[in-house]
């Protein structure tokens, strides 16, 4: 039995001011733009206050009614537009993707009295992205949560142009080592063999993008595809969840009922070791699986940063004995075994992630991301 034990620690330090200037690494945010007009006259409205509910991001419309909100983390938001003399408008389900612009236009209804009435509409995802310059697919956190998958590779395998063969991912028929991996705008590709340098759990992903052709200028050292991952951040309120499951497969196959387990003893006639004794039905349950995962995020407690310093943490333990079993006739030291049924390809993995985000102003964001991965294969 060959034992493989891997440990990788990835520390991603992102200290950058997301100002209105170009950055030297891959994009991690999107943009919202649009025009707000009077519903009755269709005249552009100047000075409308446009904000994203639950964030400190927003803008004021220009004389032509246009506005732009920059550096918006990927996700689903509610946009609020307010102006004196007009009803407040809420636009729900506004989706923002990294490196893309979401266009949200609005028409405000004039009102004579300030009644506090609000008009709510739901934004629709465009059928065609006019600013898409490459072949890519994007998956948000809500979509990942609804998929019947367990790991990141399972999500990637569902994207167009991606296949999995021999446990490796291939994009557009290229080699597994020809894929570049980016996490929060930082390259995490293993420079030794071109594999993924660290593991990000599905529940910690805010958005996943697979670029399968015509990469933008900021990407390099990739021939078949780009995989970009943006991890979640803590919000204004403390939230968390714990999920887990444990179980196995029970088999009524006749083969298992015919198997017998023997124990090791000494032959009284010869004094040699031999298998003596019989135990009926030694194996009834196969392939036990254990999975435990947690997520927690929100403002950093006991520190008075006015909710500008947030954290997000994720951890997972996963164990699977696999589907192959065999008899332990001999031990690794050459002695007779106990004939017990043991898994031949067990797999175990642990992972931890922690992320700190500090936003002193609306135009400056400091991030610190840390990952710890450990996995083991016995075969």
**Tens place of pLDDT per residue across the chain (379 aa):** 455 555 555 444 444 333 333 344 567 888 999 999 999 999 999 999 999 998 888 999 999 999 999 989 898 999 999 998 899 999 999 999 888 889 999 999 988 766 667 888 887 777 666 666 677 888 999 999 999 888 888 999 998 888 888 888 888 888 888 888 999 988 888 888 888 888 899 999 999 998 887 777 777 777 888 899 999 999 888 999 999 888 776 655 554 544 555 555 666 666 665 555 555 445 555 667 889 999 999 999 887 677 789 999 999 999 888 767 777 777 777 666 666 677 777 888 999 999 999 988 877 888 899 999 988 876 5
Fill in the DSSP letter of residue 176.
G
Is 183:199 a contact under the CB 8 Å cutoff?
no
Instruction: Say whether pTM exceeds 0.85.
Output: no
User: At 210, phi and psi to the nearest 5?
Assistant: -120, 115
What stretches of the chain show up as alpha helix (H) in DSSP? 141-146, 152-157, 254-258
Domain 25-122 class in CATH: mainly beta
| Fold match, 25-122 / 133-231 | no
Give DSSP secondary structure letters for 310-348: EEEEEEEEEEE--S-EEE--B-TTS-B----EEESS-EE
Task: Specify the CATH class of 133-231 in words.
Answer: mainly beta
Hey, where are the domains in the chain? 25-122, 133-231, 239-378
């Amino acid at each position: 039995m060959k034992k493989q034990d891997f440990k990788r620690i990835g520390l991603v330090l992102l200290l950058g001011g997301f100002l209105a200037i170009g950055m030297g690494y891959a994009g991690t945010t999107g943009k919202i733009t649009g025009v707000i007009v009077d519903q009755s006259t269709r005249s552009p409205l100047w000075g409308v206050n446009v904000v994203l509910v639950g964030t400190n991001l927003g803008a004021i419309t220009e004389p032509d009614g246009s506005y732009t909100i920059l550096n918006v983390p990927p996700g689903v938001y509610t946009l609020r537009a307010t102006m004196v003399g007009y009803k407040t408008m809420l636009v729900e389900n506004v989706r923002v993707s990294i490196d893309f612009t979401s266009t949200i236009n609005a028409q405000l209804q004039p009102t004579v009295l300030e009644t506090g009435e609000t008009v709510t509409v739901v934004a629709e995802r465009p059928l065609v992205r006019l600013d898409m310059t490459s072949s890519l697919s994007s998956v948000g956190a809500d979509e990942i949560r609804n998929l019947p998958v367990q790991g990141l590779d399972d999500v990637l395998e569902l994207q167009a142009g991606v296949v999995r063969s021999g446990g490796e991912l291939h994009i557009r028929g290229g080699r597994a080592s020809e894929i570049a991996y980016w996490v929060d705008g930082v390259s995490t590709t293993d420079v030794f063999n071109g594999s993924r340098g660290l593991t990000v759990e599905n529940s910690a992903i805010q958005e996943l993008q697979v670029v399968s052709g015509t990469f933008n200028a900021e990407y390099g050292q990739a021939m078949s595809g780009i995989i970009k991952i943006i991890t979640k951040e803590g919000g204004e309120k403390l939230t968390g969840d714990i999920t887990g499951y444990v179980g196995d497969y029970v088999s009524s196959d006749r083969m298992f009922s015919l198997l017998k387990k023997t124990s090791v003893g000494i032959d009284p006639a010869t004094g040699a070791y031999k298998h003596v004794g019989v135990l009926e039905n030694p194996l009834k349950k196969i392939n036990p699986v254990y999975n435990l995962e947690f997520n927690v995020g929100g403002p950093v407690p006991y520190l008075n940063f006015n909710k500008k310093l947030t954290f997000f943490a994720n951890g997972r333990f996963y164990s699977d004995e696999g589907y192959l079993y065999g008899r332990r006739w001999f031990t690794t030291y050459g002695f007779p075994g106990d004939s017990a049924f043991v898994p031949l390809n067990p797999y175990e993995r642990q992972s931890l992630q922690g992320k700190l985000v500090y936003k002193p102003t609306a135009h400056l964001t400091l991030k610190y991301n840390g990952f710890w991965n450990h996995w083991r294969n016995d075969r």
